[in-house]
Structure formats: C-alpha cells, structure tokens
C-alpha cells in the first residue's frame, strides 16, 4: 500500500470547486484530501501546513452546498459554504482506513448491486 504524499500548499486560497479542479489538474493521482486524511495530517504533525483553514474533498453529510474544512491552528473540523476561499494542499496515494482499502470501482460495484436488489424487491 502506498502511503499518502502531501504536495505543497497552493499559493492562493480557492473555493471548494476550484480546489478540486486544481488538485486534479496536477495529474499523476493528485486529489483534494478527504476530511480524515487532513485530520490525520494535523494529528501527525505533517509539516508545511499554515495555521489556517484547509479544504477537504468531503461534502457535509446534511447540506450539499457545504464542504468540510480542517483548521490547522487547533484541529477544528467544520463545514462551510463551498463558495468560501480556503487553502488547498493536494494529496496522492491510496485511500484507505486502517487496513481497509477503498477503491472507487469497488464502491460503484457494491452500489449497483444494492440498487439492483432494491429494484428487484419492488417488482
């Protein structure tokens, strides 16, 4: 399993969509980090973060127009409007939680199976 590799903090603050697009534009697997990856970076004292807010790729569970941020001054995690401007730090490497590897193809396949099962029960 590859470890996470954080890139450099972008020179300017961006809104949530710009942050996602910026990370993808870097190519070679760069992406906006998930909320838990930023929290892990804060807890692990990963160097190179400013004492400020950073976007994660995570959308608020209840409100789709809110994105989750991590404050690298005190570790605060919260949700703010995706039109706000915060710092961006790309990450690359395999997304995993503990020993559980998460692949988008696995998630899609399981979602399709679940939906087909639900539709089958409705017939």
pLDDT at 105: 59
Question: Residue 116 domain-assigned?
Answer: no
Which among 57, 44, 9, 76 is positioned nearest to 68, based on CA atoms?
57
Q: What is the DSSP string of 27-85?
A: -TT-BPPPHHHHHHHHHTT-TT--SSEEEEEEEPSS-TTEEEEEETTT--EEEEETTS-
Question: Residue 100 domain-assigned?
Answer: no
Q: What is the pLDDT of residues 67-85, one digit of tens each?
A: 999 999 999 999 999 999 9
Which residue bears the tokens 């998460």? Answer: 102
pLDDT at 106: 58
Question: Residue 19 domain-assigned?
Answer: yes
Question: Residue 60 domain-assigned?
Answer: yes
pLDDT at 96: 52
CATH of the domain at 85: 3.10.100.10
Q: Give every residue of the chain whose pLDDT is below 70, as ranges.
A: 1-2, 94-108, 110-111, 113-114, 117-118, 120-121, 123
Residue 39, domain extent: 5-95
Distance (Å, whole) CA 35 – CA 62: 15
Q: How far is CA 118 from CA 113, 115, 123, in A?
A: 9, 5, 9
Question: Residue 42 domain-assigned?
Answer: yes
pLDDT at 4: 87
Q: What is the total count of domains within the chain?
A: 1
């Amino acid at each position: 399993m590859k470890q996470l590799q954080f890139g450099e903090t972008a020179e300017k603050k961006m809104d949530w969509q710009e942050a996602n697009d910026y990370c993808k534009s870097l190519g070679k697997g760069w992406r906006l980090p998930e909320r838990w990856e930023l929290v892990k970076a804060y807890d692990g004292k990963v160097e190179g973060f400013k004492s400020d807010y950073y976007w994660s790729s995570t959308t608020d569970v209840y409100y789709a127009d809110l994105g989750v941020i991590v404050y690298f001054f005190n570790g605060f995690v919260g949700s703010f409007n995706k039109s706000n401007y915060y710092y961006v730090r790309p990450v690359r490497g395999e997304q995993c939680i503990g020993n559980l590897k998460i692949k988008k193809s696995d998630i899609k396949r399981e979602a399709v199976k679940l939906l087909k099962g639900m539709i089958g029960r409705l017939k």
